[in-house]
Amino acid sequence: MGTTSRVPVVSTSLVSGQLLILGGGFGLYGYVPAAIQTSWQVTTLSRYKGLLENRTELSGLLNQVDFISETDLDPQFYDAIVIARTPRQQFDFVQANPTFQGHYFLEKPLGDTEESTLQLLDTLQSRKSSFSVAYLFEYQEWYKHLASGENLGTDVAIDWRISSPKNRSWKESPDAGGGILAYYGVHLLSLIVDCAYDLRNLEISHQTDLLEIKLKNSSREISLKLSVGQISSFEVVLKGRNGVYHWSRETPFGVIPTPGIPDPRIPALIEYLSGWSKHKSLSEFVTKERKILELRQTISAIL
């Protein structure tokens, strides 16, 4: 498909709409196949076309994608926009488009600093902008088991080992919104907020490639260990009223990559995109993100 003439549209359909995807990494190899499988009409930038052509698992999707130049981009033409760019680019895009009335699918962290994250939340709230954040752990079996009301008395131990990326990027730079706390650790901060852990007994251990968080309440204890090194693995052990639950895989996502599903996050992303109309309300998302930011600030102050 090529550039087509469009008229501004904000669809009343809760599924299947006009979706703009921005980002040449996970935006392409994650969001593009997931969005197509959930019946979105996908548009992305012409400069990404070569990247899609060069990935054999994505090249067959080219005829299902519209390509536009950056100069022709008008957010008002889309029901929703995926921003899978750097935190600073995400911040700048939202700030630069105050009249967009569709839904934002945002990535974490929201901003490159604690200050810009807070500013972006204030902007989204003041504009009453519909948005959600892709915390894909929420769609995993182990996460649902952990968050279940049946396991309120559970002691939790999570050991997450991430293999070092081949190429240096913003994800490794705390000054750009990356680093083990702001980028990788935000998944665990979301878990702490979702499960409403009491922060009064908080122990932190931190190095460049290691983050350990321990919380101990009257009813349960959680021990989270996140490290970046040579191997990749993920293990969860829950001890509670219903016995012991153990979950262990190479990644937090219980999917083995195949030619049809090359990235283990795609099934969770499909569930996320297909259920976006059931996501939290604006006030709920803003409240959750503020709590995550406050927890990040608390840990940063201890460090």
How high is the pLDDT of residue 150?
65
Is the pLDDT higher at 167 or at 39? 39
Residue type, 257: P
What is the per-residue pLDDT for 230? 87
- pLDDT tens, position by position, 7-55: 333 333 444 699 999 999 999 999 999 999 999 999 999 999 999 998 8
| Per-residue pLDDT tens digits for 250-279 | 999 988 877 777 789 999 999 999 888 777
Q: Please list, in sequence order, all residues whose beta carbon lies within 8 angstroms of the beta carbon of residue 295, skipping any fewer than 6 positions away.
A: 189, 192, 193, 199
The predicted pLDDT at position 166 comes to: 74
Q: Would you call 231 helix, strand, or coil by DSSP?
A: coil
The pLDDT of 76-85, averaged and rounded, is 96
Lowest mean pLDDT among 55-59, 137-141, 232-236, 295-299: 55-59
Second-level CATH architecture of 137-251: 2-Layer Sandwich (3.30)
Per-residue confidence (pLDDT) for residue 108, from 0 to 100: 94
> Quick check: 3 pLDDT over 50?
no
Enumerate the β-bridge partners of residue 247: 236
pLDDT at 78: 97
**What pLDDT was estimated at residue 7?**
34
Q: Positive or negative CA dihedral for 20, 24, 27, 28?
A: positive
CATH architecture of 18-133: 3-Layer(aba) Sandwich (3.40)
Instruction: Check if 18-133 and 137-251 are the same fold.
Output: no
**Residue 153: what pLDDT?**
66
pLDDT band at 181 (very low <50, low <70, confident <90, very high): very high
Q: What is the pLDDT of residue 151?
A: 61
- Over residues 107-161, the pLDDT tens digits come to 999 999 999 999 999 999 999 999 999 999 999 999 988 887 666 667 899 999 9
> For 270-299, what is the mean pLDDT?
90
- Supply the angle between the helices 114-127 and 87-96 in degrees, to the nearest 10: 30
Read out DSSP for 2-45?
A: ------------SSS-EEEEE-SSHIIIIIHHHHHHTT-EEEEE
CB of 106 closer than 8 Å to CB of 131:
yes
pLDDT value, residue 16: 67
Please tell me the least confidently modeled range out of 130-134, 149-153, 189-193, 240-244: 149-153
- CA dist 191 and 143 (Å) reads 8
More confident residue, 169 or 87: 87
Per domain, the residue ranges of the chain are 18-133, 137-251
**Residue 56 pLDDT:** 85
